[in-house]
């Protein structure tokens, strides 16, 4: 991909995120409150310092789709915005056949420019119990959530046409339509109710005529402070922050949310007229991002999380017992950058310490350990750009009012077959997040090696 194209998609993504965030502030005023709280907390945190450049507009969103065609068109749209599917998430522990990927920029410079990501979940309709499948299919196959002009623009771009100014403006306007909330449902109240009682998420995915954004999440520098502020402002905050406990060296992702809102909606009644009802799905979330873990680090994280959960047992979420269990379990995860590096638990970006080349004195090879201990290279953790399936499930669950009788609950086929079926729907491979972090680290090492004139590090 050329520099120029990369710049274009960065500009498009940036404009799109601003427009989407504005739209969502109007749709969900509490999101606006949350953005204000985050801004105040982060400003207080850095004092007179400067926020990292990419931080100001950093957001992630989430959508839920009903058909393979929808997922495929979403992939095409996000490709134009410089966002590609990374990571496979199996969400079937929700008791529903759901799987997901995250669309995000992959190049370092694109991430730096605007790291917008969208978690996109697909309902695997074929795997639904047959009592509900027919209804779901009937409703889904009657809708088209994409404005025709948008699909035409995507086809033109894919054929190599360039985006002129008006095209870009139209593209962003049309893309917003895909994610806009509609309080009027084309579905009948009876249909809505039967889907809702099978599982509220089915009703949310199927009954509304868009891929409505269900939350938009700003990133904060201090999630504990934001959580405390949310409670102070009377927002219905989740009891516990998902992810690892607070640490010196932040890793992966910590997230919290406020509960979904009950919103006024309208469905068709028996005589075809609209009747007022309510629907609960959209919520607000915040996140704090830490370092990307290596596979080894991730295994340790997963083991400690399982250990904590086992110790917690039935203790309520957020209770002192459960917080202690978390803290004790995670004491097993090293908490200094040098130890995390020595044990190969985190990915790092290496840079040359200016003026340190003298140490080299014509050498052709030097180990990484020596280069670091002799002060030739310094390192900083690479930021985790992805999601955590357990947190995703926690967030999902905390926003579902389950009056569902669990009849749709059963186990679903998972594993490599499921991932390749999502790739087939997308029409492209899902990138592996570990590979991406590893090559970022490798590139930084190679750059240093070349400048130092070493054959090998
Ligand atoms: C997706 C939840 C996943 C996160 O931050 O982990 C997510 C959903 O509720 O549709 O956004
Ligand atoms: Ni989220």
- CA gap 288, 224 in Å, rounded: 9
Question: What is the rounded average pLDDT for all residues in the chain?
Answer: 90
How far, CA to CA in Å, does 344 sit from each of 105, 242, 249? 25, 24, 14
The CB of 289 under 6 Å from ligand 1? The reply is: no
Q: How much is the average pLDDT of 150-175?
A: 92
The pLDDT assigned to 93 comes to 81
Taking the alpha carbons of 60, 62, 63, 68 in that order, is the dihedral positive or negative?
Answer: positive
Kindly give the number of the ligand 1 atom that is closest to the alpha carbon of 64.
10
The CB of 119 under 6 Å from ligand 1? The reply is: yes
pLDDT at position 257 over 60: yes
* Ligand 1 midpoint to CA 418 (Å): 19
Pair 174, 149: CB distance under 8 Å: yes
* Tens-digit pLDDT profile for residues 95-135: 899 999 999 999 999 999 999 999 999 999 999 999 999 99
The CB of 211 under 6 Å from ligand 1? The reply is: no
Q: How much is the average pLDDT of 323-333?
A: 93
Smallest CA-to-CA distance from 429 within 39, 54, 4, 75 is with 75
Q: Which residue of 206, 254, 287, 387 sits with most ligand 1 atoms within 8 Å of its CB, as the best mutation to test the pocket?
A: 387
Enter the tokens of residue 109: 């410079």
The pLDDT assigned to 396 comes to 63
pLDDT at position 25 over 60: yes
Kindly give the number of the ligand 1 atom that is closest to the alpha carbon of 387.
6
Could you tell me what percent of the chain has a pLDDT over 70? 92
Cα angle 129, 132, 137; round to 5? 110
The pLDDT assigned to 143 comes to 94
pLDDT at position 35 over 90: yes
Considering only 4-8, 48-52, 265-269, which range has the smallest mean pLDDT? 4-8
The pLDDT assigned to 405 comes to 38
- CA gap 149, 439 in Å, rounded: 38
* Ligand 2 midpoint to CA 62 (Å): 6
Provide the pLDDT confidence category of residue 2 given band limits of 50, 70 and 90.
Answer: very low
373 phi, psi to nearest 5 deg:
-70, -30
Name the residue with the closest Cα to ligand 1, atom 6. 392
Q: Which ligand is nearest to the CA of 217?
A: 2
* Ligand 2 midpoint to CA 163 (Å): 31
The pLDDT assigned to 400 comes to 63
The CB of 387 under 6 Å from ligand 1? The reply is: yes
The CB of 101 under 6 Å from ligand 1? The reply is: no
Provide the pLDDT confidence category of residue 393 given band limits of 50, 70 and 90.
Answer: low
The CB of 256 under 6 Å from ligand 1? The reply is: no
Q: Which residue of 98, 119, 384 sits with most ligand 1 atoms within 8 Å of its CB, as the best mutation to test the pocket?
A: 119
- Give all domains of the chain, ordered by start, each with its CATH number: 3-290+385-426 (3.10.180.80), 293-335 (no CATH), 348-381+432-457 (no CATH)
The CB of 257 under 6 Å from ligand 1? The reply is: no
Name the residue with the closest Cα to ligand 1, atom 11. 62
Name the residue with the closest Cα to ligand 1, atom 4. 392
Name the residue with the closest Cα to ligand 1, atom 9. 396
Q: Which residue of 392, 393, 394, 399 sits with most ligand 1 atoms within 8 Å of its CB, as the best mutation to test the pocket?
A: 392
The pLDDT assigned to 206 comes to 97
Indicate the Cα dihedral angle 121, 290, 337, 433, nearest 10°: 30
* Ligand 1 midpoint to CA 434 (Å): 20
Name the residue with the closest Cα to ligand 1, atom 2. 392
The CB of 62 under 6 Å from ligand 1? The reply is: yes
Q: How much is the average pLDDT of 134-155?
A: 96
* Ligand 1 midpoint to CA 267 (Å): 26
How far, CA to CA in Å, does 305 sit from each of 238, 322, 363? 19, 12, 45
pLDDT at position 355 over 90: no
Name the residue with the closest Cα to ligand 1, atom 7. 392
pTM of the model: 0.93
Provide the pLDDT confidence category of residue 416 given band limits of 50, 70 and 90.
Answer: low
* ipTM confidence: 0.99
Q: Which ligand is nearest to the CA of 388?
A: 1
**Residue owning tokens 């909606």:** 265
């Amino acid at each position: 991909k050329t520099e120029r194209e990369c710049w274009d998609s960065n500009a498009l993504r940036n404009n799109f995120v601003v427009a989407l965030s504005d739209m969502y502030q109007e749709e969900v005023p509490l999101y606006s409150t949350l953005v204000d709280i985050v801004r105040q907390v982060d400003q207080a945190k850095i004092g007179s310092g400067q926020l990292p450049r990419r931080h100001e507009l950093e957001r992630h969103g989430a959508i839920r789709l009903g058909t393979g065609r929808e997922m495929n068109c979403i992939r095409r749209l996000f490709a134009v915005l410089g966002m590609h599917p990374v990571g496979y998430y199996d969400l079937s522990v929700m008791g529903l056949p759901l799987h997901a990927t995250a669309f995000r920029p992959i190049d370092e410079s694109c991430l730096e420019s605007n790291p917008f990501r969208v978690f996109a979940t697909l309902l695997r309709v074929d795997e639904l119990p047959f009592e509900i499948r027919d209804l779901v299919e009937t409703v889904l196959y009657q809708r088209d959530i994409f404005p025709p002009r948008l699909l035409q623009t995507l086809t033109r771009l894919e054929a190599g046409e360039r985006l002129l100014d008006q095209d870009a403006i139209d593209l962003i306007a049309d893309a917003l339509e895909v994610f806009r909330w509609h309080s009027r449902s084309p579905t009948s109240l009876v249909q809505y109710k039967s889907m809702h009682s099978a599982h509220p998420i089915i009703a949310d995915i199927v009954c509304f005529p868009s891929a409505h954004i269900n939350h938009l999440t700003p990133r904060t520098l201090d999630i504990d402070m934001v959580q405390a502020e949310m409670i102070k402002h009377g927002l219905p905050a989740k009891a516990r922050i998902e992810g690892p406990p607070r640490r010196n060296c932040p890793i992966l992702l910590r997230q919290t949310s406020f509960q979904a809102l009950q919103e006024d909606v309208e469905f068709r009644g028996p005589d075809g007229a609209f009747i007022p009802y309510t629907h609960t799905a959209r919520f607000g979330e915040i996140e704090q991002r830490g370092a990307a873990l290596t596979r080894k680090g991730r295994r340790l994280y997963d083991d400690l999380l399982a250990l904590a959960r086992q110790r917690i047992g039935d203790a309520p979420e957020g209770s002192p017992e459960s917080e202690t269990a978390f803290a004790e379990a995670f004491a097993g995860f090293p908490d200094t950058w040098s130890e995390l590096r020595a044990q190969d638990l985190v990915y790092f970006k290496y840079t040359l310490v200016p003026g340190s080349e003298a140490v080299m004195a014509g050498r052709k090879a030097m180990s990484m350990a020596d280069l670091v201990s002799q002060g030739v290279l310094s390192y900083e953790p690479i930021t985790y750009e992805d999601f955590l399936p357990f947190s995703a499930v926690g967030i999902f669950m905390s926003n579902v009012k389950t009056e569902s009788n669990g009849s749709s609950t059963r186990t679903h086929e998972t594993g490599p077959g499921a991932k390749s079926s999502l790739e087939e729907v997308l029409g492209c491979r899902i990138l592996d997040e570990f590979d991406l972090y590893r090559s970022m680290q490798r590139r930084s090492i190679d750059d240093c090696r070349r400048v130092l004139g070493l054959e090998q590090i």
